[in-house]
Amino acid sequence: MIDIDGTQLGIFSVKDALRKAQERGQDLVEIAPQAQPPVCKIINFGKFRYELQKKEKIQRKHQQVTVLKEIRLHPNTDTHDFEFKVRHAIGFLEDGNKVKVAIIFKGREMAYVEQGESLMNQFIERTADVSKVEAPMKMEGKNLLVILAPQKSKGKKQTN
């Protein structure tokens, strides 16, 4: 058993330990149940729980949540629409989100896979200064996909 100030009081039975904690007006909390014998401490449990919640809140606050945003294109997307989508992707990447770029082929557009690949390469080149390719280009059914992740060094500079 450990006292409020951290000094070891010795080994006690459960009844004696509870009685000592009640004499001091505190709670008896089991800290290391796996230890032999189990380690208990006399503390104010309400204050202990409050501090734990505070630590968890700070950890959640500093935790970064990554969101996967999707941008869809077609192999015959016009230049203005392409530029618009690139600007959106750059904005998502600067915010720290990942971007999934999909070129969707419908019907006879499957004959123009090379055109879609060149469009995808152009998209990757345009976003290269703020992103890196996380998953390489691949075909999934009638979709050509690539996943872009934000570059760590660029994101840190913008948050400062």
pLDDT 10s digit of each residue in the chain, 160 long? 888 888 888 888 889 888 988 888 888 888 888 888 888 998 888 888 898 899 999 888 887 777 889 999 999 889 999 999 999 999 999 988 999 999 999 988 888 889 999 999 999 999 999 999 988 899 999 999 999 999 875 444 444 4
Query: Are 40 and 111 contained in the same domain?
Result: no
Looking at the structure, tell me whether residues 79 and 97 fall in a common domain. yes
Q: Are 71 and 100 in contact (CB under 8 A)?
A: yes
Whether 97 and 139 map to the same domain: the answer is: yes
How far is Cα 157 from Cα 4, in angstroms, rounded to an integer?
45
25 shares its domain with 100: no
Residue range(s) defining the domain that contains residue 28? 14-60
39 and 94, same domain (yes or no): no
Quote the pTM value. 0.58
**CA torsion angle for 33, 34, 40, 45 (degrees, to 10)?**
-40
Contact of 96 with 155, CB cutoff 8 Å: yes
Establish if 143 belongs to a structural domain.
yes
Structural domain total, the chain: 2
